[in-house]
A = this chain, B = another copy of it.
Amino acid sequence: MVIVMKANAKENQILAMKKKLEELGFMVHVSKGESHCVLGLVGDTTTINESQIEAVECVDKVMRVQAPYKRGNRLFHPDDSIIKVDELTIGGKELAIIAGPCAVESEEQLIHIAKDVKRAGANFLRGGAYKPRTSPYSFQGMEEEGLKILLEAKKITGLPIVTEVMSVELVDKISQYADVLQIGARNMQNFDLLKEVGRCNKTILLKRGMSATIEELLMSAEYIMSEGNEKVVLCERGIRTFETFTRNTLDLSAIPVLKKLSHLPVIVDPSHAAGKWWLVEPLAKAAIAVGADGLEIEVHYDPANALSDGPQSLKPEKFEALMDSIRVIAKTQNKIV
């Protein structure tokens, strides 16, 4: 950590600051520049309260040298994390293809789609039982009934279940049904929820918040991991920008950046980012080409009657065509699916 003192900081203020930092256990190098004096800290600064230092009147700014996360940091864990879910792995040679409807609407609907995506090559089944909706007047999900249908679909297809958990008190219940608990973009900084799923033994699919930086995503993963659960999969699903043609702007640069900074697997959800079904296939291909470990894709056989996210849902035949394209691109990345 580097502390830049104000241009007018006095000698005794600099010394006082140095002493304060040494008392916190750091070695401090003082370097006097033309206009500013700079203090360099040596030691583990992960747990330092940066804002207490910035609040000292003679301090101009504080600049971090080390990343503020540890458990997800590739610096300390150079090898890729490969996470096991049932017989499958995420982050290894095989791509994770998580497909299914936005929301579970009925047993018939889910089983129908589950069979379709399985046949096309998906290896996980997604479906929302509890739905976060921007309008209180929209369909809010089938709740526990939906979870039971998901389990039924797993029995029939063998596909492990990925479903969203929206609040602390549902973690236990959903864990009884699902294989992978999804933390939605809106909950990426719901810290109580992160801690709670950090105490369960399920794999966590952590989606990037739509206004979260890459570093904040890694800090949220840190929350989960610091409670003991290291089975975290990161998911890029678009960030909010000034561009309105697409619902969000899919930040595909984030994939190689996350792979460099962290050892955790990274997948991409092109459906939510784009908000339009005809963008899903090109973005899915780009996601694999850029190095993602998998995809999460919304599929529905009747988008015009889907209770949510119809415009971005692929019909099963389109999903099948997409899987064919993905297989071709996967080979170029030395991946299989």
Does A272 sit at the interface, judged by CB under 8 A? no
> Would you give the shortest CB distance from A160 to chain B, in whole angstroms?
26
A313 interface contact, C-beta 8 A:
yes
Contact at A289–B278, with CB atoms within 8 Å? Answer: no
Q: Are B186 and A75 in contact (CB under 8 A)?
A: no
Q: How far is the CA of A195 from the CA of B166 in the complex (A)?
A: 13
In chain A, positions 221-240 with a C-beta closer than 8 Å to chain B are: 222-223, 226-227, 239-240
Residues of B within 8 A of A66 (CB): 33-36
Question: Chain B nearest CB: distance from A66 CB in Å?
Answer: 6
A111-119, A144-152, A210-218: which one contacts chain B? A210-218
Q: A304: which B residues are within 8 A, CB to CB?
A: 52, 55-57
- Measured CB to CB, the nearest residue on chain B to A139 is B49
Chain A 237-264 interface mask (CB, 8 Å, partner B; 1/0)? 0011111111001111111110010000
Asked whether A253 lies within 8 Å of B274 as measured between CB atoms, the reply is yes
Closest to A211 in B: B211
Q: How far is the CB of A19 from chain B (nearest CB, A)?
A: 13
Interface string of A17-40 (1 = CB under 8 A from B): 000000000000101111110101
User: Which residues from B are CB-within-8-Å of A246?
Assistant: 253, 257
**B-side contacts of A167, CB under 8 Å:** 167-168, 190, 192-193
Q: Could you give, for residues 309-326 of chain A, a 1 whenever the CB lies within 8 Å of some chain B CB and a 0 otherwise?
A: 111010000000000010
User: Which residue of the partner chain, among B38, B306, B329, contacts A55 with CB atoms under 8 Å?
Assistant: B306
Chain B residues contacting A273 (CB-CB under 8 Å) are 253
A183 is an interface residue with CB less than 8 A from chain B: no
Chain B nearest CB, measured from A12 CB (Å): 15
Chain B residue at smallest Cβ distance from A242: B240
Report the bound CA distance from A132 to B187 in whole Å: 12
Question: Given contacts A54-B310, A68-B135, could you give 13 more A-B pairs where the C-beta distance is less than 8 Å?
Answer: A29-B31, A33-B40, A33-B41, A33-B43, A49-B138, A49-B308, A132-B191, A240-B242, A249-B249, A253-B283, A255-B282, A282-B289, A286-B289
Residues of B within 8 A of A51 (CB): 306, 308-311
**Which listed residue (B31, B52, B136) contacts A306, Cβ 8 A?**
B52
Q: Which residues of B contact A306 (CB under 8 A)?
A: 51-52, 55
A97, B134: Cα distance in complex, Å: 30
B contact residues around A250 at 8 Å (CB): 251-253
Q: How far is the CB of A49 from chain B (nearest CB, A)?
A: 7
Q: Complex Cα distance A139/B191, Å?
A: 13
A216: chain B residues at CB < 8 Å are 134
Least Cβ–Cβ distance between A213 and chain B, in angstroms: 6
Determine whether A156 belongs to the interface, using a CB cutoff of 8 Å to chain B.
no
Pair B169/A213 contact, Cβ less than 8 Å = no
Tell me which residues across on chain B come within 8 A of A253, comparing CB atoms.
Answer: 246, 249-250, 273-274, 279, 283
